Amino acid sequence: MPLWSSHPRVFLDIVETGSVMCPYCGTRYRLEGPRRPAITDRLPAPRRPCAHSFAPVARERVLIVAPSWVGDSILSEPLIALLREPYGDPQVDVLAPPWCGPVYARMRGIRRVIESPFGHGRFDLAARRRVAKSLAGEKYARAIVLPNTWKSALVPFLARIPIRTGYVGEARWALLNDPRKLQKHLLPRLVNRYAALAGAPGHLIPVPASPVLVPDVANRSAAVRALSLKTHRPVVALCPGAEFGPAKRWPPHQFAELASLFVRDGFRVWLIGSPNDKLASRAVLQSMGDDARQVHDLCGHTDLGTAIDLLSQAALVVSNDSGLMHAAAAVGVPVVALFGSSSPDYTPPLSPLARVAKIDIVCSPCFKRECPLGHFKCMRDLKPWMVYNFARAAMPFHLSARPVAETDAQ
């Protein structure tokens, strides 16, 4: 019986093709017997099973050191999907910053989320020793370090976890005993880079599926009641913020024009974001005039977990390239993602319901926090009527309507 025989990706492959594929290296085997196995059948071992010394089994615990950005944390979900066992108890623990904890709490297959006490950018060796000491008794078989920083690999090293996997990053040869050299041309997307760490060195894995977050329905219902939100009409959620910097943010007056179009079409409009997005949401409301009374500004009124749960209520989400963009795609709602200084080739919204709105100009993407040329054309030239047409096309068919022309939006 191969180690990966109960992997969820394998089950899907069997039902569709009648064959089995190793989720770590992509090797495909034809199954013996006259019929295709049902999803509950035990699978026969292939005649020449592939060997993966680093493939975790159900009884072995794995520690994942999570990234510091919310969006990057969401993109680590396919890695966790490769590690988890569908019918066994979860054996994956995650060491994550407190602001990323609600993301991992909405992923399947995680046994425990351990809060990382280290401030952003702080070395704090004494605190890392304390955390490592507390983790040493967990008997982890393997640690996977997702950030590329030197200090992020310290805790697994100090905890003496036998196998410590991660990309070389900041010359971490001494801390990682399973170091990987990143080949960017083979793994252009961050989600693929994370998922590749599940396999053995030098082996390819299948293209990972889209990230999935499971919203807390009870928490969503409680939030709707507590915030006096109306849901009898379809909801459009707008996310005007982006933590990285202003170069990622669509101008507030253009968000305001877009919101007015949806209000006039009879949609409920919610502005969703963190307390840091409050200035952006206020600027949107100030640009809307009388239509602002039809908009609920929720920025700063929810925690991250509740914001993710509320996004699952929306008929559509329009968002800058941010953590909430990835969250909306992961909960399965239609998304229009606005890209300017960043690239959809590296961190796109991974969902068949997602669309990217982007202006192709020579200086984009620049990956800067602020526009280095001062004109901000990559976002300013992305007009509200363009985004509106994208949005209506992305909506479910029963909510779609005639897209507006440029003259209608002016």
pLDDT at 59: 57
Residue range 66-88: mean pLDDT, rounded: 87
- One DSSP character per residue, 180-222 reads E---TTT--SHHHHHHHTTS-TT---PPPPPP-----HHHHHH
Compute the distance between CA of residue 336 and CA of residue 386 in angstroms, rounded to an integer.
11
Residue range 145-164: mean pLDDT, rounded: 94
229-272, pLDDT tens digit by residue? 998 899 999 999 888 778 888 999 999 999 999 999 989 999 99
Given a cut of 50, is residue 337 above it in pLDDT? yes
365-375, pLDDT tens digit by residue? 888 888 878 88
pTM: 0.80
Residue range 133-155: mean pLDDT, rounded: 93
Q: Taking the CA atoms of the chain, what radius of gyration do you get in angstroms?
A: 23
pLDDT at 208: 75
pLDDT at 404: 52
- One DSSP character per residue, 282-349 reads HHHHHTTGGGGGGEEE-TTSS-HHHHHHHHTT-SEEEEESSHHHHHHHHTT--EEEEESSS-TTTS--
199-240, pLDDT tens digit by residue? 888 776 767 789 999 999 999 999 999 999 998 899 999 999
Which of 32-41, 76-85, 94-103, 335-344 is predicted least confidently? 32-41
pLDDT at 18: 52
23-59, pLDDT tens digit by residue? 545 555 554 444 444 433 444 444 444 544 334 344 5
pLDDT at 124: 80
Domains of the chain, each with CATH number or no CATH: 1-52 (no CATH), 61-196 (3.40.50.2000), 217-409 (3.40.50.2000)
End-to-end CA gap in the chain: 65
pLDDT at 27: 57
- Residue at 315: amino acid letter: A
pLDDT at 373: 83
pLDDT at 244: 77
pLDDT at 31: 47
pLDDT at 35: 44
Q: Which residues in 99-139 belong to E strands, given as ranges? A: 110-115
